[in-house]
Amino acid sequence: MTHLPAKAARVLVTGGAGYIGSHCCKALSRAGMVPVVYDNLSRGHADAVRWGPLVKGDMRDGDRLAQVLKEERIDAVIHFAAFAYVGESVQEPQMYYDNNVGGMIALLGAMQREGVKTLVFSSSCATYGVPDRVPIDETMAQAPINPYGRSKLICEWMMEDAASAWGLNYAALRYFNAAGSDPEFELSERHDPETHLIPLALMAAQGTGAPLQVFGTDYPTPDGTCVRDYIHVSDLARAHVLALDALRGGAGPLKLNLGTGTGTSVQEILDAVERVTGHAVPHQNSPRRAGDPPELVANPGHAREVLGFEARWTNIDEIVGHAAPWFMEAPKVAQG
């Protein structure tokens, strides 16, 4: 009797052309699964889709999503596609609710129609707002202070209701600050416009960007600058594979913080960038940015218990070091 190999799971990855999504596709492929990317390329990059097919489509197009779930014989979904700039969400709230909440409405409708019941969702520590204490654990109140965080919390509620109504099984993964890039240098972080601290500090240090503005130096933190928990994007990607395996093995619903448990201040990031690049980071002190809580650090204990997940890259210099080559000054053409 011949044994056929077990069927490789086919996973729809919405937003799979983006920063975290593309790293996740690589991790899924390494784990023997087939990532089928669904992305409208408004903020993602087609050349980051390298581990499976790319289907171009909008998140709010429920009929198209249902058609893709059926035609691509999808077993499970990982949903990244969303707008994710805190500052922009404060300026353009309706745009955030339309895309992030509207996208989830269309996705859940399509999944229910096609009988796909497994969903890993890209949530955020922004759903906690300004926490009473750090480190933050999953039992703490979720009270977001900006439209981005609110849109993610609404999506968590929608999944909870879908679980009761029609048996959705889901994992809400609340990321802290995704950072770094693929240690094998196959994928990078590319945002347009770039608003994230580490890329901007690298560009400032290497002379390819403007001096960095340090948003707030009067926070109630040890050096007065904001503290965040920077987790390597390849660690985040691996956590998605573990969450998917756990759901497919019968666990769920899951609500998990993904962080390292260590806080790093803006000033400490500038110091790390200086050590990694050998250049000081030109910077100026600026007012606080709207929507920024002073300190966000994860208690990673629950993800460790449930998934056996532990961040592998915990040294901030290594995390910055994986991102740095992508922000080097382009070689200058000799002028004749």
By annotation, the residues acting in catalysis are 148
CB of 79 closer than 8 Å to CB of 168: no
Note whether 256 binds ligand UFG by CB under 6 A.
Answer: no
Task: Name the token pair of 248.
Answer: 């497919």
Note whether 298 binds ligand UFG by CB under 6 A.
Answer: no
Note whether 187 binds ligand UFG by CB under 6 A.
Answer: no
Cβ proximity to ligand UFG: between 109 and 209 the closer is 209
Q: How far is the CB of 230 from ligand UFG (least distance, A)?
A: 8
Cα 142–chain centre separation? 18
Q: How far is the CB of 9 from ligand UFG (least distance, A)?
A: 27
Distances in whole angstroms, Cα of residue 330 to Cα of each of 206, 207, 270: 10, 10, 22
Cβ proximity to ligand UFG: between 42 and 165 the closer is 42
275 in helix, strand or coil? Answer: helix
Note whether 197 binds ligand UFG by CB under 6 A.
Answer: yes
CB of 58 closer than 8 Å to CB of 38: no
Spatial distance between the Cα atoms of 205 and 279, rounded to a whole number of angstroms = 6
**Which 6-45 residues touch ligand UFG, going by CB under 6 A?**
none
Of 116, 137, 119, nearest in space to 128 by CA: 137
Binding mask 261-280 for ligand UFG (x = CB under 6 A): -----x--------------
- The three-state DSSP-derived secondary structure of 87-146 is HHHHHCHHHHHHHHHHHHHHHHHHHHHHCCCEEEEEEEHHHHCCCCCCCECCCCCCCCCC
Sign of CA dihedral 257, 258, 260, 265: negative
Q: How far is the CB of 147 from ligand UFG (least distance, A)?
A: 11
Binding mask 225-254 for ligand UFG (x = CB under 6 A): -x-x--------------------------
Note whether 160 binds ligand UFG by CB under 6 A.
Answer: no
- Which window, 26-34, 122-130, 246-254, 311-319, contacts ligand UFG (CB under 6 A)? 122-130
Note whether 320 binds ligand UFG by CB under 6 A.
Answer: no
What is the number of the residue whose Cβ is closest to ligand UFG? Answer: 226
41 in helix, strand or coil? Answer: coil
- Which window, 59-67, 91-99, 101-109, 118-126, contacts ligand UFG (CB under 6 A)? 118-126
**Burial label, 133 (beta-carbon count in 10 A; 0-12, 13-18, 19+):** exposed
Size of the site for ligand UFG (CB under 6 A): 21
Q: Which residues contact ligand UFG by CB under 6 A?
A: 84, 86, 124-126, 148, 177, 195-197, 200, 212-215, 226, 228, 266, 289, 292, 296
